[in-house]
Amino acid sequence: MNEQLFRQLIEQTASMAKDAKRVLFITGAGISADSGLPTYRGVSGLYNNQNTEEGISIESALSGSMFIENPDVTWKYISQIEKTCRGKSYNRGHEVIAEMESYFDQVCVLTQNIDGFHHQAGSSNVIDIHGHLYDLYCLSCDYQETVSDFSELPPTPRCPKCHNIIRPDVVLFEEVLSRKKMEALADEIQSGFDLVFSIGTTSVFPYIAQPVIIAHHNNIKSIEINPSNTRVSDLCRLKIPETAAKTLNTLWMMLSQ
């Protein structure tokens, strides 16, 4: 995209944002790309649609049923995913969303990402719908712990209290979403938004696309920031085909002048 067109789109976005009070940011892997994380849908992109060493799909390896039957396999691939996050941190895109809490009356972040970057950047109202990779809990007792990385964990970690297997607080394939988080999302949608951003997500999951669809049907302003076309591209009032960090930082500089 040439800089003149980019500037025009940012100016249009700023104009749409100036009167907004309640804003929803929906984010996917694309916002963490500037932190060095891969932009894959879910985790299957790590394996280029090939089977794992066990001869099964990555979705099967990272499923709830596999964790019950053979947690060693699930933990093996959870740990591989964690390596792609290890040593990485939030970027300017995450920071800007957190800083925008000083500009808008209410800011909510709905993220598919399990990296925890929105929390680290300072956002106060985050619905991490798929969980947080570094929050661990025991399946048998009340043990919970938040770790910084998995480098010192054994291949299949066990609870220091009861010695049963622990797991990250993430949604595995076949598992249902957290009822508490889905209710929090429903409450936010019920309260209403007057501006919705869809950033770096393909929006293939219905609960990720839903707020944009609602905005479209109710003539609420919506903006997509994504280099690629997605399921919701045609539903958004404005489309910016650029990276998240560059776009958000440029927008914030214009709004905060």
Would you please indicate which residues are annotated as catalytic (active-site) residues?
130
What is the rounded CA–CA span in Å between residue 106 and residue 179?
A: 23
Tell me if 213 sits within 8 A of 184, measured CB to CB. no
AA identity, residue 139: L
CA distances from 101 to 28, 33, 95, 198 (A): 20, 23, 10, 17
Contacts of 66-71 spanning 24+ positions with Cβ under 8 A? 67/167, 67/172, 71/156, 71/165, 71/167
Q: Can you point out the beta strands (E) in 32-130?
A: 106-111, 126-128
* Structure token pair of residue 187: 């409450």
